[in-house]
Amino acid sequence: ESMFKVGFLSDVYQERSVGPESISKVITRFPPEPNGFLHIGHSKAIAINFGFAKYHGGECYLRFDDTNPAGEKKEYDDSIEDTVRWLGFKPVKITHSSDNFDRLYALAEALIEKGGAYVCHCTKSDIVDQRGGKKGEKPRYACSHRSRPIAESMCEFRAMRDGKYKPGEAALRMKQNLEDGNPQMWDVFAYRIPAKKKDEEDEEDEEEIRGNDAKETETNGVESDELQYAGPHYRTGNKWKIYPTYDFTHCLCDSFESITHSLCTTEFELSRVSYEWLNNQLDVYRPMQREYGRLSVSGTILSKRKIHELVKNKYVRARDDPRLYTLPALRRRGVPPGAILSFVNELGVTKAVTNIEVKRFETSVRRYLEVTVPRLMLVLDPVKVVIDNLPDDHLEMVELPFSKDPAMGVHTIPFTKTVYIERSDFREVDSPDYFRLAPGKTVGLMKAPFPITATSFEKDPSTGHISLIHATYEKPADGSAPKKPKSFIHWVASSPEHHSPIKAEVRIINPLFKSDNPAAHPDGFLKDINPDSEELFLNAMIETGFEEIRKRAPWPAEAGEKAVADQATMNEEHANSDASTVPGSAATGDGDSVTTAGPETVRFQGMRMGYFCVDKESGAERLVLNRIVSLKEDTGK
Ligand code: ATP
Ligand code: MG
Ligand code: MG
């Protein structure tokens, strides 16, 4: 509820446009273009649209805004839907702008018929000039096509449809008001003939805040006459050569779907006028457009083209590499959907653009994980310790709570003569300000009955690394209580019959970039890459409680969720959001939903080491873990 105490949204609700009588409830939509993965910024748009509808007892649709075949793919469509469901939201309907291509085309003809649009053949630079030049320093004027007869525009529009024109040779422009101070009224495009991109992956996107939409609004954006038609469209194939623009499509699809509140980001504020203009011209139901500030995240890059460059040059392993901030990447990294929602919730909703450092996001994730995931002992870089005064077959079973929260339960692990500890928890030479293990020094092994004291160590002559530490068990012979050691370290027992330790390969994720604004690097963003963005620990060891955690994932059922309920009250569905619903999955094969627990839902706190989850590269023979975040900011631990 906290999210909706913010004035902006309740004002928007109060203002609610009165639609046709059939619209008795709030209807919103989340309208992504299926031209890439969703990123962290989109989670705000998702939370607002689904959250607003839910809060007011309404419905939210997922609408794919698929009006540009260049760059749009079924693969992205599927990924986006999957991500929305993973976040815990269930679209009441899934629609596509392309469902309405016939209807939109008919309305374009209707607009021409009433003198509201004309076919224009001006080039990009002609149009810039007509709009007063690049800086708006010159007077604006109409082109000759603006005053052509209605019948001629109609004929030419049909010719565009029928393939008489190549990309850029003709476009349909709305006949708005060149006198208006708002550029969105300077005869923006309604239909254009998109060109095939030279290299689809090389497209320049997201550089301008409004992305392709803005460019389309300005002009055709194509000059050369050697261009090929874009397409085929992943849903309508080769049926169309002309495609409606954002400015023509969005307000009409909102209208067709009886959207009550069309919520969008503030770059579209100027577009509100053309949104209303077109619905009024065509005399259709007019939803209410209102704007909120984008969520922009610094210290990373979200541009699809740049992410592609990172993958191509092998700086990251895939587009969902855990070092990236697309939502599939955050999912793979192990960030719980509830943590993303509570982060967005914390930011609240205002008209101002929210600029957040990735560090602040991590703080929020850390806070969420602290109360929701179980704890285990994980040794990243193990060194062997032999407790010489224990018999070879020494075995004690030690009980460990999964969390400070007793509701999470306990598990039991073996304690044996040979254990592994973290290499960094041992020093060859002791000093008074050092409290962990060193020759002559005593430390506690977390939850083990008695402490140990190091006696000596051995080195591997070839590497010079310590290969073995000798220790003694400090169990008082007279049965008295042991002295409480100054510090406790984590450990894992060597007990083959208990399958301990479990071996793992751990990837520590560090910032991918050195600066806060990689895009601003004078020699290009690739020069800002942090060479240590990933640290590998190939011989990590986990205690056996991991098997239980894996069986019980997604974890936890209730306990932890209750603890975060105060922070993340945006929607009640997210309590289950780890249980992503995959329609038509292999398990049922009939399109029914099935509940899956992906590898990324196996999450735990490695005591003293951070929060970890299973990476999707894991298999029967290989366990790969990602460190989601460190335990504390900046400690590297
Ligand atoms: P990008 O260029 O970053 O992919 P976009 O606007 O092209 O953004 P769309 O697929 O059109 O991406 O976005 C779908 C919805 O999400 C739109 O309503 C858009 O305004 C919203 N959105 C996109 N980026 C953000 C962001 N950073 N913060 C909040 N909302 C966003
Ligand atoms: Mg867009
Ligand atoms: Mg986009």
pLDDT of residue 159: 98
Query: Which has the higher per-residue pLDDT, 280 or 219?
Result: 280
Non-local CB neighbours of 634 within 8 Å, separated by 6+ positions? none
Q: What is the mean pLDDT of the chain?
A: 87
CATH, domain range 373-563+602-629: 2.40.240.10
Lowest mean pLDDT among 147-161, 189-203, 423-437, 494-508: 189-203
Could you read off the pLDDT of 139-149 as tens digits, one per residue?
999 999 999 99
Is the confidence at residue 583, as pLDDT, over 80? no
Percentage above 70 pLDDT, the chain: 85
Could you read off the pLDDT of 155-209 as tens digits, one per residue?
999 999 999 999 999 999 999 999 999 999 999 999 999 999 876 544 444 333 3
pLDDT of residue 556: 54
Task: Mention the CATH class of domain 1-292.
Answer: alpha beta
pLDDT of residue 16: 66
Q: Give the CA distances from residue 392 to residues 50, 64, 105, 477, in Å, rounded to whole numbers and listed in that order.
A: 60, 65, 82, 19
Q: What is the mean pLDDT of residues 115-121?
A: 98
Å from CA of 452 to ligand 1 middle: 56
Q: What is the mean pLDDT of residues 45-52?
A: 92
Ligand 1 neighbours by CB, cut-off 6 Å: 31-33, 36, 41-42, 44-45, 205-206, 211, 264-265, 294-296, 302
Å from CA of 33 to ligand 2 middle: 6
> How far, in Å, CA of 122 to CA of 187, rounded?
12
pLDDT of residue 50: 92
What are 83's two structure tokens?
Answer: 């991500």
> How far, in Å, CA of 310 to CA of 274, rounded?
38
The three-state secondary structure class of 62 is: strand
Beta-bridge partner residues of 414: 397
> How far, in Å, CA of 84 to CA of 95, rounded?
14
Amino acid identity, position 588: T
Amino acid identity, position 240: W
Å from CA of 607 to ligand 3 middle: 39
> How far, in Å, CA of 349 to CA of 6, rounded?
7
For ligand 1, pick from 30, 38, 42, 249 the residue to mutate: most ligand atoms within 8 Å of CB. 42
Q: Give the CA distances from residue 539 to residues 422, 423, 444, 451, 504, in Å, rounded to whole numbers and listed in that order.
A: 11, 12, 23, 25, 6
Is the confidence at residue 112, as pLDDT, over 50? yes
Is the confidence at residue 94, as pLDDT, over 90? yes
Is the confidence at residue 413, as pLDDT, over 70? yes
pTM for this entry:
0.89
The three-state secondary structure class of 98 is: helix
Picking from 365, 101, 136, the residue whose alpha carbon sits closest to that of residue 236 is 101
Of all protein residues, the one whose alpha carbon is nearest to atom 7 of ligand 1 is 211
In the numeric block, the tokens 């999470």 are attached to: 408
pLDDT of residue 588: 21
Determine contact, residues 25/58, Cβ cutoff 8 Å: yes
Which ligand 1 atom is the nearest neighbour of the CA of 210? 6
Question: Which pLDDT band, with edges at 50, 70 and 90, does 482 fall under?
Answer: confident
> How far, in Å, CA of 24 to CA of 22, rounded?
6
Amino acid identity, position 393: D
Lowest mean pLDDT among 98-112, 171-185, 277-291, 588-602: 588-602
pLDDT of residue 222: 53
What is the chain's Cα-based Rg? 30
> How far, in Å, CA of 439 to CA of 432, rounded?
13
The stretches of 178-240 forming alpha helices (DSSP H) are 211-218
In the numeric block, the tokens 């049922």 are attached to: 588
Q: Catalytic annotation on 304?
A: yes
Query: Which residue in 63, 294, 603, 627 is the catalytic one?
Result: 294
**Largest Cα–Cα distance of the chain, in whole Å?**
108
Which ligand has its closest atom nearest to the C-alpha of 71? 3
DSSP 8-state assignment for residue 282: T
Task: Tell me the HSE value of 24 on the side-chain side, using a 13 A CA sphere.
Answer: 1
Q: Catalytic annotation on 179?
A: no
pLDDT of residue 212: 36
Q: What is the mean pLDDT of residues 380-398?
A: 97
What are 527's two structure tokens?
Answer: 């020069």
CA 209 to chain CA centroid, Å, is: 18
Query: Which has the higher per-residue pLDDT, 358 or 206?
Result: 358
Lowest mean pLDDT among 92-101, 187-196, 350-359: 350-359
Q: Give the number of other CB atoms < 10 A from CB of residue 546.
A: 27
Which ligand has its closest atom nearest to the C-alpha of 265? 1
Determine contact, residues 258/22, Cβ cutoff 8 Å: yes
Determine contact, residues 159/165, Cβ cutoff 8 Å: yes
Is the confidence at residue 566, as pLDDT, over 90? no
Q: Give the CA distances from residue 199 to residues 21, 73, 96, 196, 305, in Å, rounded to whole numbers and listed in that order.
A: 48, 14, 25, 8, 11
Amino acid identity, position 70: A
Å from CA of 263 to ligand 2 middle: 13
Given the DSSP bridges, would you call strands 534-542 and 502-509 parallel, antiparallel or unpaired?
antiparallel
Phi, psi of 336 (to 5 degrees): -70, 145
Å from CA of 213 to ligand 1 middle: 11
What are 156's two structure tokens?
Answer: 């030419």
Torsion of CA 476, 479, 484, 488, to 10 degrees: 70
Query: Which has the higher per-residue pLDDT, 270 or 598?
Result: 270
Fold match, 1-292 / 373-563+602-629: no
Which ligand has its closest atom nearest to the C-alpha of 297? 1
- The domain ranges of the chain are 1-292, 373-563+602-629
Query: Which has the higher per-residue pLDDT, 5 or 599?
Result: 599
The three-state secondary structure class of 454 is: strand
Question: Which pLDDT band, with edges at 50, 70 and 90, does 627 fall under?
Answer: very high
Buried b (16+ CB within 10 A) or exposed e, 79-111: bbbbbbbbbbbebeeebbbbbbbeebbebbeeb
Which ligand 1 atom is the nearest neighbour of the CA of 34? 10
Q: Give the CA distances from residue 359 to residues 173, 355, 356, 362, 444, in Å, rounded to whole numbers and listed in that order.
A: 45, 12, 8, 5, 33
Angle at 536 between CA 535 and CA 541, to 5 degrees: 130
Length of the chain: 637
Q: What is the mean pLDDT of residues 284-310?
A: 92
pLDDT of residue 354: 87
Is the confidence at residue 32, as pLDDT, over 70? yes
Beta-bridge partner residues of 118: 173
Question: Which pLDDT band, with edges at 50, 70 and 90, does 280 fall under?
Answer: very high
pLDDT of residue 572: 36
Determine contact, residues 185/273, Cβ cutoff 8 Å: yes
What are 264's two structure tokens?
Answer: 């969008």
Q: What is the mean pLDDT of residues 39-68?
A: 93
Which ligand 1 atom is the nearest neighbour of the CA of 205? 2
pLDDT of residue 469: 98
> How far, in Å, CA of 30 to CA of 471, rounded?
61
**496: cis peptide before it, omega within 30°?**
no
In the numeric block, the tokens 């002295």 are attached to: 483
Of all protein residues, the one whose alpha carbon is nearest to atom 22 of ligand 1 is 42
Question: Which pLDDT band, with edges at 50, 70 and 90, does 223 fall under?
Answer: low
Lowest mean pLDDT among 90-104, 218-232, 492-506: 218-232
